[in-house]
A = this chain, B = another copy of it.
């Protein structure tokens, strides 16, 4: 079966970084690229028009959430996820693995799948590799993800290995179950932060006919140095593999640089929109916390270098007021800005990879985001 996507990329002489283009049934994606998360078929507070205005090329939606509410069969009856949420660009759906292990009340993992209790009503639910594929086919995303078993990377190596090997067997079952010719399927490399396990996982997953490869199990509590070292191992093991590479659940400015230099093409994370709703705006001058009283009298836009609707029309003082008054508009305007900032940053990274100014851009961003991109302090935010 011919792949419904094509990916071309070229090295640019900066570490393992590459520039690429990924074509999907719903349009082309320039890489490196960030995917905002539309958990429940909406990037919170934003419309599809807002996403287009921010330069978004592809979004992620959650299999776990949508299968529970409003139900994937319902979305299929209504014409699929693109039509349902009125986003006509590319969509990637995760497999539900992350949510089952982080959000649901976990019941029991066996070699066949996972039985868990819904976080909505406690009802008993079951996900298997075949079921995760079936749900994603019903949603009709451009890119589906294999169903994997995620574990805390700091567990004993033997436990990480058991989950990894199960993930490898489930990967083959996902491929066997997958039937939609207009939907790509990506495999997920696991193995925690152990170099040998990661090499084993790459050998297994990259040996299968997936349309693209993802790196899972990071950004869930390991140190920045561990993440960078693991990406180095995976990049080395994947060298020569032409497929697109997606680092799951990562989305802070320093992490983008760390990962792009290690050959990552795609990212997703709830971070830009989640922190926006708490009043944290990402700007060309670093992070602003709009709940800080000093912004109540600040007439400047959130980011003087940003051209989003929020920064064109509104002051820090106005946003600070909206947050204090708990007005709905606060969450919308801040989310729009942070998504725009993130998209602009990825665009600037691509341009800098092209014109040789990557080192200058990296230094300028890192100066405001307090790190080298390979900090050894523990991250406090878990991925998706």
Interface of A with B (CB < 8 Å)? 40-42, 44-49, 69-70, 74, 77-79, 84-86, 296-297, 299, 309, 313-315, 317-318, 320-322, 324-325, 327-329, 331-333
**Bound: A299/B85 CA distance, A:** 11
Q: Which residues of B contact A74 (CB under 8 A)?
A: 296-297, 317
**Bound: A85/B329 CA distance, A:** 11
User: Are B86 and A313 within 8 A (Cβ)?
Assistant: yes
* Minimal Cβ-Cβ distance residue in B for A298: B78
Q: Which of B78, B314, B321, B328 contacts A317 (CB 8 A)?
A: B78
Q: Which residues of B contact A85 (CB under 8 A)?
A: 318
Given A47-B309, A47-B329, A49-B309, check contact A84 B324 (CB 8 Å).
no
Q: Which of B46, B297, B327 contacts A329 (CB 8 A)?
A: B46
CB distance from A290 to the nearest CB of B (A): 13
**Bound: A140/B297 CA distance, A:** 18
Q: Which residues of B contact A331 (CB under 8 A)?
A: 328
Given A84-B318, A324-B69, check contact A297 B45 (CB 8 Å).
no
User: Are A45 and B328 within 8 A (Cβ)?
Assistant: yes
- Subset of 28 A-B contacts with CB under 8 Å: A40-B321, A40-B325, A40-B327, A42-B329, A45-B332, A46-B329, A47-B313, A47-B332, A47-B333, A48-B313, A69-B321, A69-B324, A69-B325, A70-B320, A70-B321, A70-B324, A70-B325, A74-B296, A77-B297, A78-B315, A79-B299, A84-B317, A84-B318, A84-B321, A85-B318, A86-B313, A328-B331, A328-B332
User: Are A322 and B42 within 8 A (Cβ)?
Assistant: yes
User: Are B309 and A70 within 8 A (Cβ)?
Assistant: no
CB distance from A64 to the nearest CB of B (A): 13
